[in-house]
Amino acid sequence: MALRKIREIGDDVLMKVCKEVKEMTPRTKLLIEDMFDTMYEANGVGLAAPQVGVLKRIVVIDTTGEDPYVFINPRIVDRSGEQTGYEGCLSVPGKTGTVTRPNYVKVVALDENMKPFELEATELLARAVCHELDHLDGHLYTEKVEGELKNTEDVYEDEE
């Protein structure tokens, strides 16, 4: 298990557009394993390569703890509906904000074996896909927040 340092808001790497992955190398396989380890250790549901300082179009997501996905060179090809809810980010620790995203997305990507696949996602998985793919183009959820960012603890207190 290798944990990587999660880059935080203000780090220039988070504002850059990532490069496509042309081939699977041992180094890229290791990056993907490290991304999962880092995401799980930080209690996240998704992590994009630039969040660990690597400008490659790679995202890992696991919204249930039992369904890990690897997306290489992902693209959203369809979206519909709308959902509004609180969103946080491992690169913006301790903060959350209200964001509206599609309730349904269809994404095409390559898996860890560089085989093409298509995934239709709804609700939390759709939100995670949109959030993580934004990272690949140098965008943080904070650009989409409706209203102000809140401290994470304050949001949970409001829900009690």
Confidence of residue 144 (pLDDT cuts 50, 70, 90): very high
Residue 19 DSSP one-character state: B
Q: What's the pLDDT tens digit per position in 69-86?
A: 999 999 999 999 999 999
Label residue 156 by pLDDT band (50, 70, 90): low
**134: enclosing H helix or E strand:** helix 123-136
* 12-159 fold: Peptide Deformylase (3.90.45)
Q: CB of 57 within 8 A of CB of 131?
A: no
Measured at the alpha carbon of residue 45, what is the angle toward residues 120 and 140, in degrees to the nearest 5? 90
Please report which helix (H) or strand (E) contains residue 155, including its range: helix 152-159
Phi, psi at 97, each rounded to 5°:
-155, 160
- Active site residue ranges: 132
- pTM strictly above 0.75: yes
**Amino acid at site 53:** G
Residues 9-45 have pLDDT tens digits of 999 999 999 999 999 999 999 999 999 999 999 999 9
Which helix (H) or strand (E) is 48 found in, with range? strand 46-48
Residue 153 is predicted with a pLDDT of 79
Who's near 15: CB < 8 A, 6+ residues apart? 138
The domain locations on the chain are 12-159
Beta strands in 49-133 (DSSP E): 58-61, 69-80, 83-89, 92-101, 104-110, 116-122
